[in-house]
């Protein structure tokens, strides 16, 4: 009996051993077959190539790789946000030490509990995902660690293929070798997607709660950390209840993990969530000019050399092509570089200037085929203390999506008589002309006539400027020569001035290509600055998101006019506002100087004027030039007077420096006092409108063209 039982046991044992051996042989054959299939089918080569590519990705990476795209922000002179510049993504990079601990704990608790234990991959999770692939025939299940998700976000795409999954694993392993866990977590929290265009925890915080991430409560933090797992399903705007449910799960996980207390858990669970989306920042004209100046600053940072003089047309064309290519490249970089741009613009002054312009055209509502007002205006205000732009208005306020024309610096029009001080009188003063010298207003054969068709005979230079007599400016320019007169504009980088403008009609503003309001303002600001030229811009400095200064505006001055000549010109231009074509539009109690200008057939109307504090220029006209109504001709002076009166409220009057007084008199420090009073200023207006350019000007030389 015993022997029979023993034999049965031995048979079973041998049978089990044979089955085990057979299974091992089968397993070995299966493995060998799989290995053979792996290599013979080409999978081995594919995987090897994926591994090499993954190694190259990580080897070339630096911490900067993980912040290559970042939203830029621009501020006005009072640190108010003017513009938020984002590319396809809204991204703000936050260093690890500024990310709340709760935020790190929450994301680890819900996304990767073993984050600090594994080396980039979770093998069990991968096996589960692998079995799901065999079962479903595709990648249908997660299993990615935080490191793998980072690898996918930065280096790969979201395609659900086995090749992408394999490469993701290799990248994750390499990342863990190169970077610390804290670095990887920092990179991850700054790059994951939080729905609605927000990338990174700071962008999500600003977007959903209008706060910085370090201002969030535990409840708000966990609410945000609920989103990245499935941004569509947990989109707070579309599925708020889903997001809230997952927030509760995260809080429970954190409690179970021991990273928050019972009290913290209960408090966070009962705290209501209120979304507070930040208002879209839009400052139209200020933004367009800001983008232009900032882009040119980035071009300068990249080593681009700006030019305004060229050997010939071929040289100009080559430069313009290189300029356009670099401008477009740097403009794209402006929206993805994470810059912090500090400007001289004042949103308060900007608003005042826009409102002043708009208020003058309430009775002119005609629009063109695009819905844009036909009758237009543009204006620029420049700070004489710094030479920087404080406000810039490129047209009447309209909400037309995609319409970005800023006439203040992008439109070029004939300047009429406002050009006379820059290219006729000031250069002539440098050559010995004086305010009290006698000149003769008389008819010139083949030359221009005065606006009123009369000639006043002998008068002083001061009176000739004040009354804007065309014949006298024309004769002085003829003696000076157009080449000499226009050389002053070239010295101030007037962009459209070249040899083609060298004709006598230029004395009265008859320029082929025209000038912008910004250019005219910088010319008059040069007069106020004792003849020293400063290139206008609105950029003070540019830093990276960490505050490191990348660019500082160079305020180097170049001498264009002699000091005493510039002071004499200012003294003469004061007469324009006291006894000339702008009589009645001066500022009460504040010394000011300026010049009016109109063009042939009254198609453009200008006024450029300044005090010791600010220089402001205004243009009024039609985009497609046509004669202005007579009632509109004084509008530039009205805008100038109303705006300058408002921004000078509370400022101490400062006299201009008398000619021949060479010692430097420092003006009192300029405060950003833009006036808060809203009392209406009553301005004495003259009923007579003086138009300076007459019908007798040489045909075609001072007619306005678009």
- The CATH number of the domain holding residue 411 is 3.40.710.10
pLDDT band at 600 (very low <50, low <70, confident <90, very high): confident
Question: Residue 159: inside a domain, yes or no?
Answer: yes
609: enclosing H helix or E strand: strand 604-610
What are the distances in angstroms from CA 488 to CA 116, 282, 348, 644, 675?
68, 37, 34, 27, 36
In sequence order, what DSSP letters do the residues of 474-522 get, joined into one string? HHHHHHH-HHHHHHHHHHTT-TT--GGG-SGGGGGT--SS-B-HHHHHH
Token couple for 87: 């590319």
Question: Residue 290: inside a domain, yes or no?
Answer: no
pLDDT band at 420 (very low <50, low <70, confident <90, very high): very high
Question: Residue 1: inside a domain, yes or no?
Answer: no
Q: CB-based burial of residue 676 (10 Å sphere; 0-12 exposed, 13-18 middle, 19+ buried)?
A: exposed
Q: Quick one: pLDDT at residue 104?
A: 96
400 with 506, same domain: the answer is yes
Taking a C-beta distance cutoff of 8 angstroms, is the pair 209, 220 a contact?
Answer: yes
Question: Residue 553: inside a domain, yes or no?
Answer: yes
What single-letter DSSP state applies at residue 79? S
Q: CB-based burial of residue 607 (10 Å sphere; 0-12 exposed, 13-18 middle, 19+ buried)?
A: buried
| Strand-strand pairing, 375-383 and 388-393 | antiparallel
Q: What is the pLDDT of residues 140-199, one digit of tens each?
A: 445 689 999 998 888 876 555 667 678 888 888 999 999 999 999 999 999 999 998 899
Q: Quick one: pLDDT at residue 694?
A: 38
239 with 131, same domain: the answer is yes
Taking a C-beta distance cutoff of 8 angstroms, is the pair 472, 442 a contact?
Answer: no
Q: Please state, in angstroms and rounded to a whole number, the distance separating the CA atoms of residues 366 and 695.
A: 28
Question: What average pLDDT does range 529-536 have in this prediction?
Answer: 97
Torsion, CA 522, CA 525, CA 531, CA 532, rounded to 10: -70
Please check the confidence at residue 112 and state whether its pLDDT lies above 80.
yes
Choose the final residue of a domain: 632, 647, 662.
647
Token couple for 91: 């991204």
Question: Residue 323: inside a domain, yes or no?
Answer: no
Q: Please state, in angstroms and rounded to a whole number, the distance separating the CA atoms of residues 650 and 356.
A: 19
Q: Quick one: pLDDT at residue 594?
A: 98
Please check the confidence at residue 558 and state whether its pLDDT lies above 80.
yes
Q: Quick one: pLDDT at residue 552?
A: 96
Say whether 103 sits in a helix, a strand or coil: helix
Largest distance between two CA atoms of the chain = 152
Say whether 639 sits in a helix, a strand or coil: helix
Q: Quick one: pLDDT at residue 698?
A: 32
Instruction: Using alpha carbons, select from 221, 284, 274, 281 the residue that is nearest to residue 250.
Output: 221
396 with 265, same domain: the answer is no
Q: Quick one: pLDDT at residue 560?
A: 98
In sequence order, what DSSP letters do the residues of 283-352 get, joined into one string? -HHHHHHHHHHHHHHHHHHTT----S--SSHHHHHHHHHHHHHHHHHHHHHHTTB--EEEES--HHHHHH
Which residues carry out catalysis? 111, 417
Q: Please state, in angstroms and rounded to a whole number, the distance separating the CA atoms of residues 42 and 34.
A: 12
Question: Residue 321: inside a domain, yes or no?
Answer: no
Bridge partners of residue 459, in order along the sequence: 439
Question: What average pLDDT does range 508-533 have in this prediction?
Answer: 96
Question: What average pLDDT does range 613-639 have in this prediction?
Answer: 96
Choose the final residue of a domain: 603, 621, 647.
647
Q: What is the pLDDT of residues 330-345, one digit of tens each?
A: 998 898 889 999 999 9
Say whether 614 sits in a helix, a strand or coil: strand
Q: Quick one: pLDDT at residue 692?
A: 44
Question: Residue 653: inside a domain, yes or no?
Answer: no
Question: What average pLDDT does range 575-593 have in this prediction?
Answer: 97
pLDDT band at 311 (very low <50, low <70, confident <90, very high): confident
Please check the confidence at residue 284 and state whether its pLDDT lies above 90.
no
Cα of 51 vs its chain's centroid, Å = 41
Q: Quick one: pLDDT at residue 688?
A: 32
Q: What is the pLDDT of residues 74-110, one digit of tens each?
A: 999 999 999 998 877 788 899 999 999 999 999 999 9
What are the distances in angstroms from CA 519 to CA 74, 111, 348, 389, 496?
24, 57, 23, 12, 10
136: enclosing H helix or E strand: helix 123-136
Please check the confidence at residue 465 and state whether its pLDDT lies above 50.
yes
Q: Quick one: pLDDT at residue 665?
A: 44
Length of the chain: 706
Question: What average pLDDT does range 430-442 have in this prediction?
Answer: 96
Taking a C-beta distance cutoff of 8 angstroms, is the pair 106, 217 a contact?
Answer: no
Q: What percent of the chain has pLDDT over 90?
A: 64
pLDDT band at 648 (very low <50, low <70, confident <90, very high): very high
378 with 243, same domain: the answer is no
> In total, how many domains does the chain have?
2
Question: What average pLDDT does range 3-30 have in this prediction?
Answer: 57
Q: What is the mean pLDDT of the chain?
A: 85
Q: What is the pLDDT of residues 354-370, one digit of tens each?
A: 999 999 999 999 999 98
Residue identified by tokens 């497609």 is: 624
Torsion, CA 423, CA 410, CA 491, CA 538, rounded to 10: 120
Which of 38-42, 94-98, 177-181, 641-645 is modeled with the greatest confidence?
Answer: 641-645
675 — alpha (psi -120 to 50), left (phi > 0) or beta? left
CATH number for position 145 = 1.10.3810.10
Q: Quick one: pLDDT at residue 3?
A: 57
Lowest mean pLDDT segment, chosen from 245-259, 395-409, 441-455, 651-665 = 651-665
Please check the confidence at residue 662 and state whether its pLDDT lies above 60.
no
Q: Quick one: pLDDT at residue 679?
A: 30
Torsion, CA 393, CA 398, CA 401, CA 407, rounded to 10: -30
Residue range(s) defining the domain that contains residue 562:
356-647
Q: Quick one: pLDDT at residue 309?
A: 80
Please check the confidence at residue 304 and state whether its pLDDT lies above 90.
yes
Question: Residue 669: inside a domain, yes or no?
Answer: no
Q: CB-based burial of residue 547 (10 Å sphere; 0-12 exposed, 13-18 middle, 19+ buried)?
A: exposed
Q: What is the pLDDT of residues 194-232, one digit of tens each?
A: 998 899 999 999 999 999 999 999 999 999 999 999 998
Bridge partners of residue 616, in order along the sequence: 381, 609
Instruction: Using alpha carbons, select from 509, 519, 514 the residue that is nearest to residue 600.
Output: 509
Bridge partners of residue 618, in order along the sequence: 379, 607
Choose the final residue of a domain: 630, 647, 664.
647
Gyration radius of the chain over CA positions: 36
Please check the confidence at residue 670 and state whether its pLDDT lies above 70.
no
Q: Please state, in angstroms and rounded to a whole number, the distance separating the CA atoms of residues 499 and 497.
A: 7
Q: Looking at per-residue confidence, does 644 or 661 come out higher?
A: 644
Q: What percent of the chain has pLDDT over 70?
A: 82
Q: Quick one: pLDDT at residue 384?
A: 98
pLDDT band at 35 (very low <50, low <70, confident <90, very high): very low
């Amino acid at each position: 009996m015993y022997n029979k039982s023993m034999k049965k046991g031995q048979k079973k044992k041998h049978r089990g051993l044979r089955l085990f051996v057979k299974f091992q042989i089968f397993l070995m054959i299966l493995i060998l077959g799989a290995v053979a299939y792996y290599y013979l089918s080409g999978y081995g080569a594919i995987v090897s190539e994926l591994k090499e590519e993954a190694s190259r990705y990580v080897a070339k990476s630096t911490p900067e790789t993980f912040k290559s795209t970042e939203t830029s922000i621009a501020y006005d002179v009072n640190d108010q946000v003017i513009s938020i510049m984002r590319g396809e993504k809204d991204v703000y990079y936050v260093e690890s030490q500024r990310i709340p601990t709760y935020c790190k704990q929450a994301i680890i608790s819900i996304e990767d509990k073993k984050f600090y234990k594994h080396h980039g991959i979770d093998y069990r999770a991968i096996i589960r995902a692998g079995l799901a692939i065999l079962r479903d025939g595709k990648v249908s299940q997660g299993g990615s660690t935080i490191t793998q998700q980072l690898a996918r976000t930065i280096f790969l795409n979201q395609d659900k293929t086995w090749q992408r999954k394999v490469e993701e694993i290799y990248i994750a392993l390499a990342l863990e070798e190169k970077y610390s866990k804290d670095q990887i977590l920092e990179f991850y929290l700054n790059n994951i997607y939080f729905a609605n265009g927000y990338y990174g925890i700071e962008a999500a915080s600003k977007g959903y709660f209008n706060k910085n991430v370090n201002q969030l409560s535990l409840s708000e933090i966990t609410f945000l950390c609920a989103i990245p797992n499935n941004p569509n399903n947990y989109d707070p705007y579309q599925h708020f209840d889903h997001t809230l449910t997952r927030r509760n799960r995260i809080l429970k996980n954190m409690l179970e993990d021991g990273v928050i207390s019972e009290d913290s858990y209960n408090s966070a669970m009962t705290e209501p969530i209120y979304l507070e989306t930040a208002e879209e920042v839009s400052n139209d004209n200020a933004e367009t000019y800001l983008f232009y100046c900032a882009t040119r600053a980035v071009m300068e940072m990249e080593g681009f050399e700006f030019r305004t003089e060229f050997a010939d047309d071929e040289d100009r064309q080559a430069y313009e092509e290189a300029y356009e290519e670099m401008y477009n490249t740097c403009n794209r970089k402006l929206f993805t570089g994470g810059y912090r741009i500090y400007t001289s613009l004042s949103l308060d002054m900007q608003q005042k200037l826009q409102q002043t312009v708009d208020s003058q055209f309430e009775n002119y509502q005609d629009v063109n085929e695009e819905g844009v007002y036909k009758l237009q205006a543009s204006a620029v205000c420049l700070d004489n203390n710094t030479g920087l732009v404080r406000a810039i208005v490129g047209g009447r306020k309209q909400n037309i999506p995609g319409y970005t024309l800023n006439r203040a610096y992008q439109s070029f029009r004939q300047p009429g008589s406002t050009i006379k001080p820059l290219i006729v009188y000031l250069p002539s003063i440098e050559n010995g002309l004086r305010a009290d010298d006698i000149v003769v207003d008389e008819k010139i054969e083949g030359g221009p006539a005065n606006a009123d068709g009369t000639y006043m005979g002998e008068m002083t230079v001061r009176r000739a400027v004040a009354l804007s007599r065309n014949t006298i400016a024309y004769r002085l320019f003829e003696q000076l020569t157009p080449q000499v007169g226009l050389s002053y504009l070239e010295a101030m980088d007037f962009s459209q001035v070249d040899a083609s403008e060298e004709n006598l009609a230029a004395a009265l503003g008859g320029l082929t290509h025209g000038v912008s309001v910004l250019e005219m303002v910088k010319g008059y600001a040069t007069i106020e600055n004792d003849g020293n030229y400063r290139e206008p811009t609105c950029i003070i400095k540019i830093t990276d998101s960490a505050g490191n200064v990348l660019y500082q505006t160079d305020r180097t001055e170049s001498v264009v006019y002699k000091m005493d000549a510039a002071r004499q010109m200012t003294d003469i231009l004061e007469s324009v506002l006291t006894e000339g074509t702008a009589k009645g539009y001066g500022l009460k109690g504040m010394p000011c100087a300026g010049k009016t200008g109109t063009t042939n057939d009254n198609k453009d109307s200008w006024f450029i004027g300044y005090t010791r504090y600010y220089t402001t220029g205004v243009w009024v006209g039609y985009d497609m030039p046509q004669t202005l109504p007579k009632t509109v001709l004084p509008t530039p002076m009205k805008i100038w007077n109303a705006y300058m009166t408002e921004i000078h409220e509370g400022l101490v009057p400062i006299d201009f420096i008398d000619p021949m007084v060479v010692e430097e008199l420092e003006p009192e420090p300029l405060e950003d006092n833009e006036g808060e009073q809203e009392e209406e200023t009553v301005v004495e207006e003259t009923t007579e409108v003086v138009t300076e350019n007459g019908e007798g000007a040489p045909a075609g030389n001072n007619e306005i063209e678009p």
